[in-house]
């Protein structure tokens, strides 16, 4: 598969008056063209922070302090602010949970879509921009586009605004779309429609997608692979089927257990698993999940577990997995 994005050992810290918070603490992954990677984890696990780093939108006092981000061979972290603006307009787009963070309340929908196009291509004619904006609105399932073009964001329903935001994100044909809980605020039917739409547009544009969510129903629906984050670490990563049917990390298993049954209500939010999330100012030594883990052993409290390969492109950072691997190796040696 062709690699679009490569993230290696990324570290992002927030330097707060109370101390350093390692919001993202050494994570690595790839996203290929035409691939959807889900990022799951609780709030505060670092899943949004790592995405904001890719597009250069980290808020103060957040700082990338280590690692690399490579996009089609370009070093993203070396880009100047002006190059980043260009990068965001042309190559990556981001859609958020709240459309009002992306839509400007004082401009019409048509105006905003056409401006996005003009920023991308200065030579585009007004007629052409208008035509493309209306086509894009139709593509995201909006009817009556001539009327919609003249409306302001507040005149539209929540679901409609979400679609407009997706249209804004996709109108310049980004190679990578970062979607941060883009459907959480919507009702189930509209959520399902928007996911369908994203899948369709992804195929036609060969786009890579990073889909950040804490909803495993959505992950099952749309993702090819999954990264599970806990306390700034990527604790498990693998193809979507491996994550659902052969999870290695106790935290992933906990997430799956807390997932509502996959039926009509499968888009419901996760029920939180027991125990308190990590105090990120004073993270425990060793495995960050240890205080909540029913399988925790002595070593878990002392040393961060290494990654163990559990299958093709499937790995988890857990001492239990290390133990099981050693057992399997010993058994194999005996048989030889």
255 binds ligand SF4 (CB under 6 A): no
Dihedral sign (CA 203, 207, 208, 210): negative
Question: In the bound complex, what is the minimum distance in angstroms from residue 220's beta carbon to ligand SF4?
Answer: 23
293 binds ligand SF4 (CB under 6 A): yes
- Pick from 76, 1, 70: nearest CA to 32: 1
Alpha-carbon dihedral angle through residues 282, 287, 290, 295, given to the nearest 10 degrees: 180
Question: In the bound complex, what is the minimum distance in angstroms from residue 23's beta carbon to Mg ion?
Answer: 11
Confirm if 102 and 170 have CB atoms less than 8 A apart: no
Stretch near ligand SF4 under the rule CB under 6 A, chosen from 96-104, 150-158, 213-221, 312-320? 312-320
d(C-alpha 246, C-alpha 311), whole Å: 10
Nearer CB in complex with ligand SF4: 61/306: 306
Interface residues for ligand SF4 in 271-290 (CB under 6 A)?
287, 289-290
What is the per-residue binding string for Mg ion in 31-50, x denoting contact by CB under 5 A? -----------------x--
71 binds ligand SF4 (CB under 6 A): no
Q: Which residues pair with 3 in a beta bridge?
A: 32
85-101: b or e for each residue (b if 16 or more CB lie within 10 Å)?
eebbbebbbbbbbbbee
Q: What angle do CA 28, 21, 318 make, to 5 degrees?
A: 45
Question: In the bound complex, what is the minimum distance in angstroms from residue 252's beta carbon to ligand SF4?
Answer: 9
Q: Which residues pair with 7 in a beta bridge?
A: 29, 69
Confirm if 258 and 246 have CB atoms less than 8 A apart: no
Nearer CB in complex with ligand SF4: 238/250: 250
Q: How many residues bind ligand SF4 (CB under 6 A)?
A: 14
Q: What angle do CA 201, 4, 305 make, to 5 degrees?
A: 115
Residue 311 tokens read as 């299958």
320 binds, among ligand SF4, Mg ion, none (CB under 5 to 8 A by kind): ligand SF4
Question: In the bound complex, what is the minimum distance in angstroms from residue 306's beta carbon to ligand SF4?
Answer: 10
Token match 């787009």: residue?
Answer: 93
- Pick from 315, 36, 283: nearest CA to 177: 36
Question: In the bound complex, what is the minimum distance in angstroms from residue 273's beta carbon to ligand SF4?
Answer: 12
d(C-alpha 279, C-alpha 291), whole Å: 11
222 binds, among ligand SF4, Mg ion, none (CB under 5 to 8 A by kind): none
What is the per-residue binding string for ligand SF4 in 34-53, x denoting contact by CB under 6 A? --------------------
Stretch near ligand SF4 under the rule CB under 6 A, chosen from 14-22, 26-34, 56-64, 315-323? 315-323
Binding site for Mg ion (CB under 5 A): 48
Binding site for ligand SF4 (CB under 6 A): 249-250, 287, 289-290, 293, 295-297, 300, 305, 318-320
């Amino acid at each position: 598969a062709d690699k679009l994005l490569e993230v290696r050992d990324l570290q992002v810290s927030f330097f707060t008056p109370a101390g350093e918070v390692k919001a993202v603490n050494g994570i690595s992954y790839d996203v290929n063209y035409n691939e959807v990677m889900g990022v799951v984890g609780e709030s505060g696990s670092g899943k949004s922070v790592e995405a904001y780093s890719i597009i250069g939108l980290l808020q103060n006092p957040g700082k990338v302090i280590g690692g690399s981000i490579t996009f089609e061979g370009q070093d993203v972290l070396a880009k100047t602010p002006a190059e980043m603006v260009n990068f965001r307009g042309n190559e990556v787009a981001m859609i958020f949970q709240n459309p009002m963070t992306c839509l400007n309340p004082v401009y019409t929908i048509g105006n905003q879509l056409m401006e996005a196009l003009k920023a991308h291509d200065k030579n585009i004619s007004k007629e052409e921009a208008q035509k493309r904006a209306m086509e894009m609105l139709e593509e995201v399932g909006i009817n009556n586009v001539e009327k919609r073009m003249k409306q302001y964001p507040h005149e539209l329903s929540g679901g409609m605004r979400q679609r407009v935001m997706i249209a804004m994100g996709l109108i310049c044909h980004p190679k990578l779309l970062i979607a941060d809980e883009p459907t959480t605020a919507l009702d189930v039917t509209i959520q399902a429609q928007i996911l369908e739409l994203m899948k369709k547009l992804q195929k036609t544009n060969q786009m890579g997608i990073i889909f950040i969510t804490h909803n495993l129903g959505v992950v099952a629906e749309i993702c090819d692979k999954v990264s599970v984050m806990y306390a700034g670490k990527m604790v498990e990563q693998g193809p979507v089927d491996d994550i659902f049917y052969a999870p290695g990390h106790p935290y992933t298993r906990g997430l799956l257990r807390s997932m509502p049954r996959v039926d009509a209500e499968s888009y419901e939010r996760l029920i939180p698993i027991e125990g308190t999330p990590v105090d990120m100012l004073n993270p425990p030594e060793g495995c960050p999940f240890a205080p909540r883990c029913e399988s925790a052993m002595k070593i878990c409290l002392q040393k961060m577990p290494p990654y163990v390969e559990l299958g093709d492109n499937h790995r988890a950072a857990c001492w239990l997995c290390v133990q099981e691997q050693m057992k399997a190796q010993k058994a194999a040696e005996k048989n030889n």
